Amino acid sequence: MCYRVLNNYVEAFHKIYLIYRKSHGRPAMKLKDILEFIRDTIYENINPAYLTWINNKLKAKDRIKNKEFNNLNPFHWRIDFGWIIKSGGFDVVIGNPPYLSNKEICKMQKNIYSSLYQLSKKQYDLFTLFIERSFSLLDECKYFGYIIPDAFMDRSNHILLRKFLIQNVQILNILKVKNVFQDPTVSNIILIYKKHRLDNNYSFGIYCVNPIIINVICIGNNTIYKFICFIASICIKSNSSPI
């Protein structure tokens, strides 16, 4: 299914959806059936083509079968939110992504991720890929907020993620929080950024206990991620009581 045909389907899907939202009773039920039929038809055509595209990026021994791929129940943002993607993307993306090391991800899924995400290198965590996907879904100059493990701040396996953010977005704030979830082994931060690349130096706040505000002045886009690690270690050591 070419992009022109797909765009026509997405446009029709959205127009019917707008009518469905204003409908009630039997008309609404009929429109819902039509929407589900259109969506299923698009997915039946897109999934095989999408799998072929992924397999072309993989070695022959790693290629994925249709049944295995369909069992993953793939979700296509360009279809279900096509009218938003077509207009530039979302205004805000917020969330709490899954915390899962790539050691806990099955080989087939890792092969898929390696063909889709530039940050799926070496030892990474699943939340890293969620951040990369969220970046692609955001419209320019719009806002992102995630709660993620504070390992993002100083672990060597997150260097690529830190560098990606510094080179592509304007970090606004990093808030270090504790005792957010029941699992006591995970400490978290809230990362907030604006999808807007700055060529010049800028500052952002790291908020810790009490609260303490530290402005980090960037020397340059290629070095700031090193300063994040340094300042974060100072904050953590100087504030031991929980928030």
Using one digit for the tens of pLDDT, what is the confidence trace for 112-142? 999 999 999 888 899 999 999 999 999 999 9
More confident: 234 or 176: 176
24 phi and psi, to 5 degrees?
-140, 160
If you average pLDDT over every residue of the chain, what do you get? 81
**Coil, helix or strand for 66?**
helix
Total-model pTM: 0.80
What CATH number is given for 89-243 in this structure? 3.40.50.150
Cα–Cα distance measured from residue 117 to residue 100, given in angstroms and rounded to the nearest whole number: 16
Mean pLDDT of 75-104: 91
242/160 Cα distance (integer angstroms): 29
Q: Which residues pair with 190 in a beta bridge?
A: 147, 175
| Confidence (pLDDT) at 239 | 35
Question: What digits encode the pLDDT tens for the residues 205-214?
Answer: 776 644 444 4
pLDDT of residue 1: 53
**Residue 216 confidence (pLDDT):** 47
* Selected residue with higher pLDDT from 73 and 234: 73
Would you say the C-alpha torsion 206, 212, 213, 217 has a positive or negative sign?
A: negative
